[in-house]
Amino acid sequence: MVAENLISNNMVPLRTDDKGREALAIMNLFSVRHLPVVEDNKLLGVISEDEILANEIDLPIKSYGLQYGRAFVFTYDHVYEIMRQMAEKQLTAIPVINEQNEYIGLISQDELLKFFANTSAFVENGSIVVLEIGKRDYSLAEISRLVESENATILSSFITSHPDSQKLDVTLKLNTQAVNAVLNTLERFGYSVKASFNENDYLDTLKERYDSLMSFLNV
């Protein structure tokens, strides 16, 4: 999946003549805190809610004298590059351009969530297993071999690294909820099982954390 397939068709960019109050209303409507600023179909940059609130909201945003943040992805960039850019720059939405710097559209966090929610790894029932592994010991091929030896399959995986640590958290989505045999085999081969969840429990936990984050952001 690439950027041009994830564009939010109902979200419009800001123009330099738009007033701060209008920009805030659009952000509120679409539940984002960042919007692109476009003039003559060229991307000037991204403006944030905080930058608008730091200025006079009844004036056009061109009067703010801002150096717009240069955040964007190209139409052909993969979904993982989009995620990296949004996380690195802490964006709630990111503009998409072509190689001529022409504005093509906008990708919001909601569109990314919808994409991942509709992938087979999320749609298919199963369970979640979190392993703690030394960075030098990580081998997805070896983990997959052990999982498959118990008639299970890894549907998806991702790695979380920790600063100042030689450990990784490896999160696995398996195609079965009967994971005891898999856990026993992994532990027998020296893997530390940090956590395991029935998928429903895991999704409930994610929802609680998401709701907490949204409450924090709305303070």
Q: What is the pLDDT of residue 124?
A: 72
Cα gap 138→170, rounded to integer Å: 9
Q: DSSP assignment, residue 4?
A: G
User: Which residues, other chains included, contact 151 with Cβ-Cβ below 8 Å and sequence gap of 6+?
Assistant: 176
Cα gap 23→33, rounded to integer Å: 10
The amino acid at residue 128 is I
The amino acid at residue 213 is L
CA angle 7, 115, 71 (to 5 degrees): 45
For the chain, the domains span 3-116, 120-212
Q: What is the pLDDT of residue 219?
A: 43
Banded pLDDT at 110 (limits 50, 70, 90): confident
Cα gap 86→93, rounded to integer Å: 7
Instruction: Find the mean pLDDT for residues 40-46.
Output: 92
- Strand boundaries in 49-165, DSSP class E: 73-74, 93-97, 103-108, 127-134, 154-161
Instruction: Please say if the pLDDT value at position 141 is more than 90.
Output: yes
Instruction: Please say if the pLDDT value at position 117 is more than 90.
Output: no
Beta strands 167-174 and 154-161 are antiparallel
Instruction: Find the mean pLDDT for residues 175-202.
Output: 86
- Whether domain 120-212 has CATH 3.30.70.260: the reply is yes
Provide DSSP, 34-65: EEEEEETTEEEEEEEHHHHHTS-TTSBGGGG-
CATH no., domain 3-116: 3.10.580.10
